[in-house]
Amino acid sequence: MKLGIIFGGLSYEHEISIVSSIAIKDVIKNHSLSFIFLDENRDFYLIPNDKMKSKLFSSGDYKKCDKLQLDKNGFYTKGGLFSKEKKLEIDTIVSTMHGGDGEDGILSSLLDFYNIPFVAPRTEACVLSSNKYLTKSYAKEVDVKTIDYKYFVKNEKVKVDKFPCIVKPVKLGSSIGVSVVNDEKELEYACDVAFEFDDAIIIEPFIPGVKEYNLAGCKVNGEFEFSIVEEPQKTDFLDFDKKYLDFARTSTAQKALVDEKIEKKLKESFSKIYNTFFEGSLIRCDFFVVNNEVYLNEINSIPGSLSNYLFEDFNKTFDGLLNSLPTKKRVPISYEYVNKIHANKGK
């Protein structure tokens, strides 16, 4: 199969997406890959495989590559003075576009609109999982526990009853803008930082030494395929620098020493979250375990390098997902109603 790996985007996680896509080049084994870069001006470029190096993007040299345009059923190279536009030979798009333009649903909407098959959450799932406030509401509806929280918008009086706490921008991932706060003095600064990245924040109690587990998976032919359960190595919390390394990981992670009952609860919670809502995507859920109860921390709807390092056989799972993508129901347009109106007018 010919896959288009799309990355970049107008996002605080733009550079992370570049790192993730470079890692993917060495991970996906069974398919022909084309790399499509979306720059900060929202222009698409076709990047040759041998030029997929971070320096190409930081230097701006990617602009020497062929420009692409998105149109019905695919991407096309722009025609020159004496040449016609040519369709890029791609069967399916795989999104490694983290943050804005990717995980927020903009790209999924475009691909849906232009009838292009893709591996990523559909628009509604993107919107829900990229907003921590909506994620918590959804989790509650599907009977998955979350840590208590308070929600504030910019210029609203922020009040915290108990320290330590953790301050998070509502719509960002990769721990960008996240702070652990120990007292009132630190709170104001942490809120200022978070509001630099978003117009809304959530504040949760910080639980020192909490057990944290990551689990990835997807549906293949209607059945769940799970990764191993990983216990990430951390100090207080996984900050940006620690998470950044995940986006470049290609070697298999070590399986966590976790109780069978807890592992079962993790998979049950993952299944409730994934449901039918995230079909067509491979996601990673990050969980907390407190007093043997499982709590959803966040949904990574497009995880770094697609969490290949959590799977014992990533390519087998990924190939199964490629063959299990949802199809959009075609709506018949008959103009029956309009024709009836005209027929009645003619009587």
Using DSSP's 3-state secondary structure scheme, residue 93 falls into: strand
At residue 238 the predicted structure's pLDDT band, cuts being 50, 70 and 90, is very low
Structure tokens at 302: 């497009």
Which CATH code fits 150-205? Answer: 3.30.1490.20
CATH H-level, domain 128-145+208-322: superfamily: ATP-grasp fold, B domain (3.30.470.20)
Q: Element (H or E) spanning 30, and its range?
A: none
Closest C-alpha to 19, from 46, 53, 44: 53
> Which residues, other chains included, contact 47 with Cβ-Cβ below 8 Å and sequence gap of 6+?
35, 36, 37, 56, 62, 65
DSSP-derived letter for residue 170 is S
**pLDDT tens for each residue of 27-56:** 999 999 999 999 999 999 999 999 999 999
At residue 249 the predicted structure's pLDDT band, cuts being 50, 70 and 90, is low
Place of tokens 């698409």: 44
| Residue-range domain boundaries for the chain | 2-120, 128-145+208-322, 150-205
Give the mean pLDDT of the chain: 91
What's 2-120's CATH class? Answer: alpha beta
Asked if residue 15 has pLDDT above 50, the reply is yes
Long-range contacts, 265-268 (Cβ 8 Å, 24+): 265/294, 266/213, 266/215, 266/229, 266/294, 267/215, 267/224, 267/226
Report the pLDDT value the prediction gives residue 240, as an integer from 0 to 100.
46
Most confident of 66-80, 106-120, 229-243: 106-120
Report the pLDDT value the prediction gives residue 250, as an integer from 0 to 100.
61
Distance, first Cα to last Cα, the chain: 57
**pLDDT tens for each residue of 77-100:** 976 556 678 999 999 999 999 988
